[in-house]
Structure 1
Amino acid sequence: METDTKTFKIPWCRTKYYENCVFPYHLYQLCNNRVYPNTECHNKRHSTFLAFVKSAMFSKLYAAEEVDKPDETVPVNNVTIPTLVLERIAREYIEKESGMDRINMLFSKNHKGEESEQLRMLKFTIIQIFCVSFFMKYVPEWKLAKDDFIRENRATVFRTRIQAMRLMQDQVSLRACKAGAIFSVKVTSFSAFLLMISQLIAVYRNKTSVIEYTVAAGITGGLYRINMGLKGLVSGTIIGASLGSIAGCFAWVVFSAFNKTQDQLHLQEIISKIEVESFLMFS
């Protein structure tokens, strides 16, 4: 099959993210031949599938031709796009996009005003870390504060038992909340910085691996110990990179088991955008 090397901008992509993408002119023929290899569908210029591809990807190119022959066009209001075609078009697009395009897409919202799935997972993980770290410090600090209050007020005379219990509860709770908040802020900020760096590296590379966790943990560990001088910076980087590699192996196994790796999530996101754009065209 002869291939035309001409490329065209996709006219149906309305978002800033898609407006500079180009696809090969022969892509729709290649997809049609693979989906319908034993039929005459690919030989009919106005078949249902071909009409969809022409309308979605090459509407400007065929606009004049369709106006001249409106009776030959097949309605495409209820077109079902084969999954193979959607995946192939999405992969063609991903091959042409840059790492900065993916990073911009990470912080952009979809047609429903929702954030990307990676960013939602990141925020949910940070919230979980904050809650867990808060109670990890709150519970032991509360017990310690209660023992300190009883020891310090053995000789204190209170007017009633209720007054003593209320004063103890106020002081103990305040001390435990303060300690828990300080500890959780430190742990959450450290974890958020580490996860954000690893996520940016994974999005830029469009790949989930151990490397981004090793690099992110090394950078975060070095910055965490930078107040101790050059030795602290080096030791923090080495220890952080070692622990990050272990955590990265565990994270890679979990994400791969649940099909939540970066390349899989990004592919599904691109396919979803293509489906939305095609739906808007024919609605």
Structure 2
Amino acid sequence: MNPIMIKRFLNKSYLCGILPFATNDLDKVSKDSKTAKSLIANHNETGWDRLYMMFSLDEFGVSSPELHSVFQSGFLGTTLGVIMGGIYRTRHTYLNFIERNQATVFRDHLEAKKKLQDQVTINFGKGAFYWGWRLGLFTSTYVLITTSISVYRGKSSILEYLAAGCITGSCFKMNMGVKGMVVGGLLGSALGGLAGGLSLTIINITGTSMEDVRYWQYKWKQERVKQEQKTFKTYEERKDFPLLKHHNEKIGPAGETLTALDSEPAVNTSH
């Protein structure tokens, strides 16, 4: 059979979808295409360019996915610090209150319960404040350093977790002097490396990357905001919307648009 006829047969046949060779250039991407240009532009980006984009806002004033993950970690750390610190500070409040007030004479049991509740509330607030901002600052700083190093290098590895743990641990023990900073840095590196190794292992098993995780966290937030806006808009367009109903009762349907104000006759206020 003529080779030209074989080539035409393969081009027009379904066999070209299962055979291990092809006779066309459909899979070749032109260098002038939009996809190729975007890949070349991303390849030519430097680490400082990526860091600048990370700390920049888009045209809608929204932060980057990387910076959004830092905010989320800081909020989560603060919340956990408030809960754990409050519980830790109030766990012995009941026994201490009984020991310190054995000789105290209260008017009735309600006064004693009120004093105990006040003491529990005060201790919970102290513990929540003491640990809340510390754990929030610790987690946000740790995630900020790991994310910044990862963005600058353009990839994720155990290196940024070790560096972030060392820096954050040293800063956390700064009030204890040089020895405390060294111990805090070593302990932070160990814990950071453990957390980083566990995170990277899970990511590799699932076949994703940290960039994908941050991206989808950002997309989920956008979808949630869109759904909230859509729900509020649907509720606002209802006839029984309280704000619109009150407006129509006070002004009337004619005042729903500005053009209705021009069509109304002027009121003579002169006497």
- 2:38 maps to 90
- 1:166 maps to 114
Alignment partner of 1:223 is 2:171: yes
> 1:117/1:255 Cα in 2 relative to 1: closer, same or farther (>3 Å)?
farther
**Is the CA contact (8 Å cut-off) linking 1:208 and 1:263 kept in structure 2?**
no
Moved more, 110-119 or 173-182: 110-119
RMSD, aligned CA: 2.8
Distance 1:214 1:38 in 2: 46
Distance 1:258 1:133 in 2: 32
Alignment partner of 1:133 is 2:121: no
2:25 counterpart (37, 52, 58): 37
Shift of 1:221: 1.9
**Is the CA contact (8 Å cut-off) linking 1:145 and 1:176 kept in structure 2?**
no
Shift of 1:201: 0.6
Distance 1:160 1:147 in 2: 19
Alignment partner of 1:206 is 2:154: yes
Shift of 1:125: 1.5
User: Per-residue displacement from partner, 1:190-229 (whole Å, max 9, x unpaired)?
Assistant: 2222221111111111111110010111122223334444
**Is the CA contact (8 Å cut-off) linking 2:89 and 2:126 kept in structure 1?**
no
Shift of 1:110: 2.4
- 1:262 maps to 211
**Is the CA contact (8 Å cut-off) linking 2:77 and 2:136 kept in structure 1?**
yes
TM-score norm. by structure 2 comes to 0.61
Aligned length: 189
Distance 2:174 2:126 in 1: 26
| Aligned residue identity for 1:37 | D
Q: Considering only CA atoms, is the larger Rg found in Structure 1 or Structure 2? A: 2
User: Per-residue displacement from partner, 1:116-169 (whole Å, max 9, x unpaired)?
Assistant: 111112211111111112211212322311221122122222223222212211
- 1:183 maps to 131
Structure 2 unpaired stretches of 5+:
1-23, 219-271
Q: What SS does the aligned partner of 2:130 have?
A: helix
Structure 1 unpaired stretches of 5+:
1-35, 43-49, 54-84, 270-283
1:124 counterpart (72, 83, 86): 72
User: Per-residue displacement from partner, 1:60-119 (whole Å, max 9, x unpaired)?
Assistant: xxxxxxxxxxxxxxxxxxxxxxxxx53x43321111111111111112222333221111
User: Per-residue displacement from partner, 1:44-73 (whole Å, max 9, x unpaired)?
Assistant: xxxxxx8xx6xxxxxxxxxxxxxxxxxxxx
Alignment partner of 1:111 is 2:74: no
| Aligned residue identity for 1:259 | T
Alignment partner of 1:252 is 2:240: no
Shift of 1:265: 5.8
**Is the CA contact (8 Å cut-off) linking 1:207 and 1:263 kept in structure 2?**
no
Distance 2:81 2:212 in 1: 31
1:151 counterpart (99, 124, 134): 99
TM-score norm. by structure 1 comes to 0.59
Distance 2:213 2:122 in 1: 46
**Is the CA contact (8 Å cut-off) linking 2:87 and 2:127 kept in structure 1?**
no
| Aligned residue identity for 1:250 | L
Runs of 4+ aligned structure 1 residues displaced above 6 Å come to none
> 1:90/1:227 Cα in 2 relative to 1: closer, same or farther (>3 Å)?
same
**Is the CA contact (8 Å cut-off) linking 2:73 and 2:139 kept in structure 1?**
no
- 1:25 maps to none
Q: Percent identity?
A: 28
| Aligned residue identity for 1:176 | F
Q: What SS does the aligned partner of 2:92 have?
A: helix
Distance 2:188 2:108 in 1: 53
| Aligned residue identity for 1:157 | V
